[in-house]
Amino acid sequence: MDLVKNFFNGLRTALTTDELVELNIAYGATKEDIAALRSKYPNCPESLICLLENIDGTYWRKYGDNEIAVCILGSGVEEDRYPYYLMSTKQILESSKEEEDISYLLEYQDDEEAVDPKINLEGLLPGKYIHFSDCMNNGGTSRLYIDFNPSNEGVCGQIIRFLHDPDEYEVIANSFDEYLQNLIDCGFIYLENEEE
């Protein structure tokens, strides 16, 4: 898939030498894991499948005797410089099992912008979302989801970013393809000066 190939070409240019060495340890998901993901999420975007077929996660992921932790994703929103990990296929399946309640934001926050109107207020329901990425702060500060149960204003497959403190859920792209293209278009800005 050209989009994923372009993503990897840009990514390899943006990563440091040490990160590239670490990333080169990674390999793709097994056919069994990909089949399990497709079975659970028939709407799973082909671009995410292709990404996982090349690298089965970078989030404290063990490959043989080596463990890697390399941020390769970002939010793709404006000048956002916060990097994210790609979760492995098994991590995705495990972390997407539970309901993600968002109603507390409407009850306890005055900010009407806390939940994007494109997001269904039922929350993120099991089988209707894919949690595919956690931020460099191990997910405590921000997570990324593919949402298959949007509100009437949203679109199936939209990308949601959760940010903590103050908590908010925002749609940042209409599809995973658009999300990846945004990362390419922003020139992988989120990987610049990651140490800082």
pLDDT at 168: 87
pLDDT at residue 62 in the model? 95
User: In the chain, what are the domain boundaries?
Assistant: 2-191
User: What per-residue confidence (pLDDT) applies to 195?
Assistant: 46
> Which is it for the CA torsion 115, 118, 124, 129, positive or negative?
negative
CA angle 89, 94, 95 (to 5 degrees): 100
Q: Which residues pair with 115 in a beta bridge?
A: 169
In whole angstroms, what is the distance from residue 113 CA to residue 13 CA? 36
Return d(Cα 104, Cα 160) in angstroms, integer. Answer: 17
Alpha-carbon distances of 111 from 100, 108, 120, 142, rounded to whole Å? 19, 9, 17, 18
pLDDT in tens, the chain (196 residues): 899 999 999 999 999 999 999 999 999 999 999 999 999 999 999 999 999 999 999 999 999 999 999 999 998 776 778 899 999 999 999 998 888 878 777 665 555 678 899 999 888 888 999 999 999 887 678 999 999 999 999 999 999 999 887 788 999 999 999 999 999 999 999 998 544 4
- Which one, of 120, 121, 105, 107, lies nearest residue 163 by Cα? 105
CB atoms within 10 A of CB 43: 11
What's the confidence (pLDDT) of residue 147? Answer: 97
User: Which superfamily, per CATH, for 2-191?
Assistant: SMI1/KNR4-like (3.40.1580.10)
Q: What pLDDT is recorded for position 139?
A: 65
Residue ranges in the chain assigned as alpha helix (H): 2-14, 17-23, 31-40, 46-54, 89-95, 103-108, 176-185
